[in-house]
Chain A
Amino acid sequence: AQSVSQHNHHVILSEAASLELGCNYSYGGTVNLFWYVQYPGQHLQLLLKYFSGDPLVKGIKGFEAEFIKSKFSFNLRKPSVQWSDTAEYFCAVNPYNAGNMLTFGGGTRLMVKP
């Protein structure tokens, strides 16, 4: 069965600092990859996704992620975080041809200090 690991459980940054959240997955086949964000008191929402093509994908609010197939990684980055980025971030994997089933990582709580 596939699994997803997010190595940073809690991250605290000051505004304008750069962000990189790690995500590694274990699955031998083709996968679709996602980052979701859950702001305090809000629904889980899609930040960005990778299906195929350019391994560097851009999402909403200035976030981007890079898929490195050889490392089974899909790390999330943002050059300069804002206080409003305080949220919990989840990496997720969808095996190809597995319908809409998502396997999520454990999540990373990001706190941005103003």
Chain B
Amino acid sequence: KAGVTQTPRYLIKTRGQQVTLSCSPISGHRSVSWYQQTPGQGLQFLFEYFSETQRNKGNFPGRFSGRQFSNSRSEMNVSTLELGDSALYLCASSLGQVFSYNEQFFGPGTRLTVL
């Protein structure tokens, strides 16, 4: 069974640009969550999507957005990039049953560098 895949693996952008990251969950998984990992702030929850709807949202500015498609693939977008957005962005997928926690499987991440 293929794991969670994230593309691209590495990305370099300049301040002010926008970026789109992609995540393909494990087949059959309907929930996708996104996390930001930085040396200073650690792992922080961005948002979770389930059946094309945002189910939970972390404490990030509106420049961070996401969406989920009918095949459960998800994208996250960061607009007007700032230097502080440099991070490893992790995607995690799970079955996504309602009213219960499902084990999440993490992808390798996309390393974003903002210059």
List residues of A whose CB falls within 8 A of some B CB.
1, 32, 43-46, 49, 51, 90, 92, 94, 97-107
CA of A101 to CA of B31, assembled, Å: 11
Q: Does A49 lie within 8 Å of B31, measured CB to CB?
A: no
CA of A103 to CA of B35, assembled, Å: 10
Q: Does B99 lie within 8 Å of A101, measured CB to CB?
A: no
Q: Does A100 lie within 8 Å of B94, measured CB to CB?
A: yes
Q: How large is the interface on B (under 10, 10 to 19, 20 to 34, 35 or more residues)?
A: 20 to 34
Q: Does B101 lie within 8 Å of A51, measured CB to CB?
A: yes
Q: Does B43 lie within 8 Å of A100, measured CB to CB?
A: no
Q: Does B106 lie within 8 Å of A99, measured CB to CB?
A: no
Closest Cβ neighbor of A32 among chain B residues: B101
Residue among B3, B48, B59 making CB contact with A100, cutoff 8 Å: B48
B71 CB, min distance to chain A CBs, angstroms: 19
Task: Mark contacts of B83-111 with chain A using CB atoms, 8 A cut-off: 1 yes-contact digit, 0 otherwise.
Answer: 00000001010101001011110111100
Residue among A45, A90, A94, A105 making CB contact with B101, cutoff 8 Å: A94
CA of A46 to CA of B109, assembled, Å: 16
CA of A97 to CA of B58, assembled, Å: 15
| B15, CB-defined interface residue at 8 Å | no
Residue among B42, B55, B107, B109 making CB contact with A99, cutoff 8 Å: B55
Q: Does B31 lie within 8 Å of A100, measured CB to CB?
A: yes
Contact A105-B90, Cβ < 8 Å, known A99-B55, A100-B56: no
Query: Which residues of chain A are within 8 angstroms of B109 by Cβ–Cβ distance?
Result: 43
| B33, CB-defined interface residue at 8 Å | yes
Residue among B33, B56, B103 making CB contact with A46, cutoff 8 Å: B103
Contact A101-B106, Cβ < 8 Å, known A106-B42, A107-B42, A107-B43: no
Query: Which residues of chain A are within 8 angstroms of B48 by Cβ–Cβ distance?
Result: 99-101
Contact A101-B43, Cβ < 8 Å, known A43-B106, A44-B90, A51-B101: no
Query: Which residues of chain B are within 8 angstroms of A106 by Cβ–Cβ distance?
Result: 42
Q: Does A99 lie within 8 Å of B3, measured CB to CB?
A: no
